[in-house]
Amino acid sequence: MMMDPQERAAYEELRVGFTAVVSHELRTPLARMLALLETALLPGADTHGLVEQAREQTLEMRELVDDVLFLSELESGREIVTLGYTHVLPVLEQLRDELAERAERADVAFRVGGDASLQVPLRARMLRVVAENLAVNALRYAGPRATFALEVRAEEGQVVLEAADDGPGVKEDDLPRLFERFYRSDRARASRGTGLGLAIVKHIVVSAGGEVRALGGPGRGLQIVCRFPAP
């Protein structure tokens, strides 16, 4: 499909901006890894510990690249988001079991629940991506002794998938921006993560005909509410 000059200019501006942000996000762990490896060459350095830290930076870069490529696939249309319906609760229960050790390390109680009969218009893989990104976001940022719940329910003719934690929450001004690529609230800036997880969630949910919204505030935890059309 041909774009008119205005659309092409807007697309080019978006592309250039996105490339610049990706480059910046990769530069930080690269600089850290280089510093760690250079330090490891110094006499008396804790080589094993420094190499392990460099390995963690490498994993962070790989995660970022994987998320960028996945988001690119979604936006290019090469990945089919909706193909039939998937029952939600079994996917949530499997995810909870797989992330049990990670939740324990984060000291976050991870619960799932809801109506086992409910389905959403997503391929099983896409539903898994949505649920996993919501869960990982909470396990990273909810904080010790928090509770996180993934629940599915029917509401006003829609199927609602809600991810809610009772952690410290984020500033209300940050809520609408949580779904922007690479955006991190002040609380999340020092934490590991690509800043793309919730952007991927939004893209998948909207592609399935749904909508997503963030609710909460300081001291009130964070709720991510995904609404899908019912079958």
DSSP SS3 for 194: coil
Instruction: Report the pLDDT averaged over residues 192-214.
Output: 81
21, 181 in Cβ contact below 8 A?
Answer: yes
Complete edge-to-edge strand list for the sheet that includes strand 158-165: 108-114, 146-155, 158-165, 222-229, 211-216
- The neighbour count for residue 102, using CB atoms within 10 Å, is 14
> How far apart, in whole angstroms, are the C-alpha atoms of residue 148 and residue 139?
8
Domains and CATH numbers, the chain: 5-76 (1.10.287.130), 86-229 (3.30.565.10)
Q: Which residue has tokens 């609710």?
A: 215
The tens digit of pLDDT for each residue in 17-61 reads 555 556 656 777 788 888 888 898 888 889 898 888 888 878 777
> Does the pLDDT value for residue 226 go beyond 80?
yes
> How far apart, in whole angstroms, are the C-alpha atoms of residue 224 and residue 92?
15
The tens digit of pLDDT for each residue in 115-155 reads 999 999 988 888 988 999 999 999 988 999 999 999 999 99
Instruction: Report the pLDDT averaged over residues 177-182.
Output: 76
The mean pLDDT value of the chain amounts to 80
pLDDT (0 to 100) of residue 24:
57
> Does the pLDDT value for residue 191 go beyond 50?
no
Q: Which amino acid is at 213?
A: R
Percentage of the chain exceeding pLDDT 90: 35
Q: Which amino acid is at 98?
A: E
- pLDDT confidence tier of residue 101, bands split at 50, 70 and 90: very high
CB-hemisphere CA count at 13 Å for 86? Answer: 20
> Does the pLDDT value for residue 84 go beyond 80?
no
Contacts with 206 (C-beta within 8 Å, 6 or more apart), sequence order? 212
pLDDT (0 to 100) of residue 190:
41
